[in-house]
Structure 1
Amino acid sequence: MKRTVFLLARSALPVLLVSILAACGDRQDPRAEGAGTEHQHDDGDTHDDRQGPAQTRIAEAQARLAGIVSAPAGPGTIADEHDVQGLLAPVDGRSAQVTARFPGPVRALRANVGDRVRAGQVLASIESNLSLTTYGVATPISGVVLSRQVQLGAVAAEGQVLFDIGDLSQLWVDLHIFGADTQHITAGVPVTITRMTDGASQAATLERVLPGTATASQSTVARATIDNHDGLWRPGAAVRARIVVASTPAAIVVPLAAVQSMEGKDVVFVRQGDAYQARPVRLGARDARQAAVVEGLRAGEQVVVEQSYTVKADIGKAGAAHEH
């Protein structure tokens, strides 16, 4: 009888253990409460894993270090722009030739190519074969010596060109326009000229569209004038130009650098304190620098305008960490 009771007890032991484990499994580890509601970055950023807009938190000091800059969204204009290229040229009527009045040997040269000279300055001395006296040859205008066409000791003929002087304080910009663009670009519209060497820009106005066509390029030439008192704009150099044909006002505009793509949608990142939220937007007209926002953004909201891709990457990092 005792042996029978012992066998029954042994056979009931596994059933009892399963019941105990099942009961323990029904208890939830209190440390797991709230799990899955947010993801904490090592740097203290938080990403909300519940259904809602993608967002992240970036401390102000970290944002400043990363170069993240925000600005309020507001009204602006979208420009109808045309990008063209052109060449710099001296302005007609702002050049002069210095010539010998009488034939004779050149006894002195007082200027070289590239020198700045002032009106009345003597550039050379010539001994006249007629009078056997030396006379000075002066420049009639102020400017820069563009060329020197005589050597010391050479015999200059009467009327021979010794120097070419150019007043380069202003230059013409001849812009070459092709195809249908010629129908939209007229005199009086603003243009921004950019040097290709260093990217420096200068605003100007198209003064005229020349009536002829450039034979070699079959382009129409539009002309503007730029200031060159620093001498850094050089005749013959190629330049880029952006011609603004028309401007259309828009209630809200953002820089193109503010717009990113997430899951096939255009988004901007709206900042509220340390929180950065990806806001889907619908864009309207755009130009080379900015786009109109027709839906999804209110005037005055702070939008990331520099390093928006850094914010996008941080949101993506938060999402990837949660998935794992």
Structure 2
Amino acid sequence: MKTFELRHIFQRSARLLAYLASILALGQPGVLRAEADHNGHDHDHGSHSHEGHDHSEGDGHDHDAAASAGGHDTHDDHDGHDHEEGVVVLSAEVMKEFGITIGQAGPGVLHEEVVLPGSIQFNRERVAYVTPRFAGTVMEIKARLADKVEAGQVLATLESTDTLRPFEVKAPFDGVITAYEVSLGQTVEAGEPIFTVADLSTVWADLRIYQRDMGKLTQGQPVLVSGGQGSGVFRGTVAYIAPVVDEHTRTGLARVVVKNHDGTWRPGQFVKGAVGIASHEEPVVVPRAAIVEYEGQPVVFVQTDEGFEPRPLVLGHADSESFEVEDGLLPGETYVTANPISLKAELGKGSFGGHQH
């Protein structure tokens, strides 16, 4: 009895090993699962044979794989866009939806700039210290701090300490009262400032020049003055460069006269000025907005017969808005000028809709 059982076990083991070897040779994992399931229901009868099951199970899994492969083809063609290896194909509707614009590569002008810190100051040529002509006592005050005044407007009435006759102190020009040092009944001397009137329709942007940049600035250069978020910008020119260096900061001074009719710029406000020190034309210039980093390189997306492909660039000079292209893009080639990040996402994800290939 024991000899029969051992022989039966050896026969089953030999058949199983041979079957496993045939499965590994054919590379059919589905058959392996089927055989494992079948062995779980095996009966202890030496006369049974498993060989009759070899063909049917493998055939069934082959049909399933073919059906699965055929079903995957339905994802290859997306509505409005397609994705090939390294190329993105987009319809006009998709480009409009994502704000993608194109243009032709060509020459452009680059502006070299120096950015300087600074602050807004009173235009000292339009500031007046109002003083009485005679010594007197303040009898009436008609203007206060921050009041807007007009030329000839009476600011205060005083009584002369010598003649006891009243006289008036008037505004010399249109402006704003920025300071006053006077009280009712106060006695003031002739020539003593009691009001400060400033015309704020223009102010000065005083920019500090670092020593390394002093040789780069000249009078008349264009300047873009900006005061941070919400303060707007002003385009002007360098009106004045100080002939001396500040002994405390060791910096020079460049001054811009800023128009301020709406009162946007206030004395004491911090600003920065981008001074254009040179300009030159290059054969191929692209906007900064057209360039993205892809696989560790700066690229633009160039339109080809197959679609849009990422083109690595060698970049040269730059300013705040554009880059010179030394290599990678030829004059006349069509490329994406705005929102290239959408195409980069397409290459990374497979499609805008999030379908994975």
Answer yes or no: same fold by TM over 0.5: yes
What is the one-letter code of the residue matched to 1:55?
V
More strand by share: 1
Distance verdict in 2 for CA 1:70–1:192, change over 3 Å: same
Q: Which position in structure 2 is the counterpart of 1:14?
A: 52
Instruction: Tell me by how many angstroms 1:145 deviates.
Output: 1.3
Q: Is the 8 A contact 1:123 1:136 kept in 2?
A: yes
Alpha-carbon separation, structure 2, partners of 1:228 and 1:27? 77
User: Is this contact kept in 2: 1:39–1:48, CA < 8 A?
Assistant: no
What CA distance in whole angstroms lies between the structure 2 residues aligned with 1:249 and 1:142?
A: 46
Alpha-carbon spacing, 1:302–1:201, altered in 2? closer, same or farther (3 Å): farther
**Cα distance change on mapping 1:317 and 1:140 into 2, 3 Å:** same
SS in 1 for 2:124: coil
- 2:222 maps to 190
Q: Quote the residue 1:47 is aligned against.
A: 83
Q: Among 126, 130, 134, which residue is 1:98 paired with? A: 130
1:168-179 matched pairs, under 5 angstroms: 168-179=200-211
- Partner residue in 2 for 1:120: 152
Are 2:90 and 1:57 aligned?
Answer: yes
Alpha carbons of structure 1 residues 179 and 156: separation in structure 2 relative to 1, 3 Å: closer
- Residues 183-225 of structure 1 show CA distances to partners (whole Å, capped at 9, x for unaligned) of 2222222111111352411111113321111122111212222
Which residue matches 2:349?
Answer: 317
Residue 240 of structure 1 corresponds to which residue in structure 2? 272
Q: How many Å separate the matches in 1 of 2:331 and 2:163? A: 83
Any idea what the Cα deviations from partners look like across 1:157-192, whole Å, max 9, x if unmatched?
333211011222222222111132112222222111
Structure 2 residue corresponding to 1:149, chosen from 169, 175, 181: 181
**2:236 aligned with 1:204, yes or no?**
yes
Structure 1 pair 229/19, CA: closer, same or farther in 2 (3 Å)?
closer
Structure 2 Cα separation of the partners of residues 168 and 23 of structure 1: 89
CA contact (8 A) 1:107 1:126 kept: yes
Q: Deviations over 1:259-309 (max 9, x none)?
A: 111112221134689x65423333222122210123333445554444332
State whether residues 349 and 356 of structure 2, in contact with CA within 8 Å, keep that contact through their aligned partners in structure 1.
no
Distance in 1 between the 2:234 and 2:70 partners?
63
- In structure 2, relative to structure 1, the CA distance for the partners of 1:116 and 1:306 (3 Å cut) is farther
**2:81–2:88 CA contact under 8 A, matched in 1:** no
Of Structure 1 and Structure 2, the greater helix share is in 2
Tell me the distance in 2 between the aligned counterparts of 1:38 and 1:267: 28
Deviates more, 1:27-36 or 1:166-175: 27-36
Residues 1:255 and 2:287 aligned together: yes
Structure 2 CA distance for aligned equivalents of residues 249 and 34 of structure 1: 55
The verdict on how the C-alpha distance between 1:115 and 1:302 changes in structure 2, with shifts beyond 3 A counting, is farther
Q: Distance in 2 between matches of 1:134 and 1:27?
A: 111
- Post-superposition Cα deviations, 1:225-284, rounded to whole Å, max 9, x if no partner, equal 2212222211222211111111121222222222111112221134689x6542333322
Q: Secondary structure at the match of 2:185?
A: coil
The higher radius of gyration belongs to 2
Instruction: Evaluate the alpha carbon distance shift between residue 162 and residue 79 of structure 1 in structure 2; reply closer, same or farther with a 3 A threshold.
Output: same
Q: What is aligned with 2:22?
A: none
- Quickly say closer, same or farther: Cα 1:150–1:294, change in 2 above 3 A: same
Q: How far apart in 2 are the matches of 1:110 and 1:25?
A: 101
| Equivalent-residue separation in structure 2 for 1:225 and 1:297 (angstroms) | 42
Stretch moving more, 262-271 or 119-128: 262-271
Residues 1:303 and 1:34: Cα distance change in structure 2 (over 3 Å): farther
Using the TM superposition, give the Cα deviation of residue 74 of structure 1 relative to its aligned residue in structure 2, in angstroms. 3.4
Which residue of structure 2 aligns with residue 86 of structure 1? Answer: 118
Identity among equivalent pairs (%): 33
Residue 250 of structure 2: which of 205, 218, 221 is its match?
218
Distance 1:176 1:183 in 2: 13
Matched to 1:286, the amino acid is A
TM-score under structure 1 length normalisation: 0.80
Rounded Cα–Cα distance in structure 1 between residues aligned with 2:145 and 2:283: 55
Q: Equivalent residue of 1:214, what SS?
A: coil
1:78 touches 1:250 (CA, 8 Å); kept in 2? yes
Change (3 A) 1:150 1:20: closer
Name which structure has the greater RCO, CA cutoff 8 Å, separation 6+.
Answer: 1
Q: Distance in 2 between matches of 1:143 and 1:177?
A: 31
Q: Give the distance between the partners of 1:183 and 1:305, measured in 2 at CA.
A: 36
The 3-state SS of whatever aligns with 2:107 is strand
Report the count of equivalent residues. 309
